[in-house]
Amino acid sequence: MSHLFRLIKILNVAASYRLYEFLDQQRSISLLRMLLKIYGIPWFLSKNARRDKNSRLRLAMQELGPIYIKFGQLLSTRRDFLDSELADELQCLQDNVPPFTSPTIKEVVELSLGTSVASVFSELDSQPLASASVAQVHAGRLKTGEEVVVKVIRPGIEKTITADLKLLKWAARLVETHLSIGKRLKAIEVIDDYEKIIFDELNLLIEAANTTQLRRNFSDFAVLYVPKIHWDYCRSNIMVMERIYGIPISDIAGLEKNKVNLKKLAETGVEIFFTQVFDHAYFHADMHPGNIFVAENKPDQPQYIAIDCAIIGSLNDDDQQYLAKNLLAIFKRDYRKVAKLHVECGWVPPDTKIHEFETTIRSVCEPIFEKPLKDISFGQLLVQLFRTAGRFNMEVQPSLVLLQKTLLNVEGLGRQLYPELDLWQTALPFLENWNSKRLNPFTLLSRIQENVPGWIEQLPELPKLVIDAATNSRQLEEINRSLVKKQQSIEKELARQRVRTRNSGLAALLFAALLLYPPLSTLVSNLPILAVGLAVVGVYLLYFKR
């Protein structure tokens, strides 16, 4: 019954915000469109009646609650098929929600840790510092004196998420089946990705592990600081982390007041991003302004502080090579190489016509390159590349979608800090350095050295592997010889049958000829008919049973 009430609530919100305008005029979907239109007749009474439809979709998602807000944020990353205006609108979704008060933070912590709050914390604020869609954060201090923040998952949120996901999957099947954009949208695939992301966010042990890995990656780099995780007090629904102090990256006035070098800050942000992508192949994929701070004590050599590592992107070797080689080729406007790389990497079908793909890419990129490089959005160019490849059935990997979203965030932040930021000038050295390191003989030698220990470990097993291989080879040879003998035996038997058949045919013809011999045929009137029949049998055996 609760599912029914939830569905009615969703339909009511969809009707009141006139979301039927997003539906096609197809007959298969016209009934739903008509019902929503009739159900939503009082729309003119709403204060949002005059807003454009993209704005109304955002407001509807906000009204439906945390799960739909998160889904809208994820959907905003799929700029390879969404209109830019709709993607921008969905990216503005805020997930500031009222904090939960029951059970209390004290009760949640004690139940999770199995001990009293007083035995772990000297202080724990009952009022949250921040409250988001699936979790909220409280300030505290450990008994050892360290200032910390305690992040806890909203009680009961998993049940709500599971119920809403069922409805979203139903809607995704409807979209893929009945809407013209359905197949390009890959709505079911988007929901599946969302399901994985949202359930990963519900497990704070995953976020804690991501944070620890990112901190380790930048342990020797002063440009990015990642807070320490206190693992003794982490569980799947609770995470205790070092508390940080800094200026929010979006607070330009605060940064200027602290005399932070904004040009250096913007360039450093881009360098951090490309270091993560091309050196670590592991990047913070939720770098919106709420998760990025700037240290107050280093204005001339700005230091970033990153929090909320629930969403992390990682690139395998193929993804990394695809991205780097394609971007280098785009820098050189070598569109044929871009087209070939897409095919070689398996991102578009192998039967794609290279010259057609090359022409399409050129038609998209050349108008962009007519502008000065500093005025070209690096992120938007990547979006255009993915969107163009989508026309040739390119299946974009989730890791590349996350990277595209992160790059757009980084570029937006960088140009907000320093409008003259030339992302291309910053990116090119990283790409060239990555390419030269990949082809460097010392790099190849180091890769061999990395594999040597594994090869040494396998040496004791080598004789056994050789013997097993030889044994298997002999067994295969015996099986092959046995099959050859059987085949030869069958062929001999077939040959004998053909000889017998041919002899039978000759005998039948000979007997028929004797029966047709005039002296004999005159004795019995039916002998000619019998002879003709035998002759037919003989011909059949001779020519059709070979």
Q: Which residues are catalytic?
A: 286
Q: Distance between CA atoms of 188 and 173, rounded to whole angstroms?
A: 6
3-state DSSP assignment of residue 135: strand
Q: Would you state the structure tokens that stand for residue 357, as one six-digit string?
A: 């793909």
Q: Distance between CA atoms of 138 and 243, rounded to whole angstroms?
A: 10
Q: Side-chain half-sphere of 330: how many Cα atoms within 13 Å? A: 25
Q: Distance between CA atoms of 371 and 353, rounded to whole angstroms?
A: 29
Q: Distance between CA atoms of 137 and 126, rounded to whole angstroms?
A: 10
Strands 130-131 and 135-142: antiparallel
| Residues 368 and 387 sit within 8 Å (Cβ to Cβ) | no
One-letter identity of residue 476? L
| Residues 172 and 187 sit within 8 Å (Cβ to Cβ) | yes
Q: Distance between CA atoms of 519 and 521, rounded to whole angstroms?
A: 6
Task: Identify the bridge partners of residue 142 per DSSP, sorted by sequence position.
Answer: 121
Q: Which of 26, 21, 32 is nearest to 56 (CA)?
A: 21
One-letter identity of residue 198? I
One-letter identity of residue 98? P
3-state DSSP assignment of residue 416: helix
> Is the N-terminal amide bond of 103 cis, ω within 30° of 0?
yes
Task: Identify the bridge partners of residue 147 per DSSP, sorted by sequence position.
Answer: 141
* Surface-to-core class of residue 152, CB atoms within 10 Å of its CB (0-12 exposed, 13-18 middle, 19+ buried): buried
Which residues touch 29 (CB under 8 Å, ≥6 apart)? 23, 174, 178, 179
3-state DSSP assignment of residue 304: strand
Q: Would you state the structure tokens that stand for residue 1, as one six-digit string?
A: 């019954």
| Residues 234 and 206 sit within 8 Å (Cβ to Cβ) | no
Task: Identify the bridge partners of residue 292 per DSSP, sorted by sequence position.
Answer: 306
| Residues 357 and 342 sit within 8 Å (Cβ to Cβ) | yes
| Residues 143 and 120 sit within 8 Å (Cβ to Cβ) | yes
Length of the chain (residues): 546
CB atoms within 10 A of CB 388: 19
Q: Which of 301, 314, 305 is nearest to 268 (CA)?
A: 301
Q: Distance between CA atoms of 270 and 275, rounded to whole angstroms?
A: 9
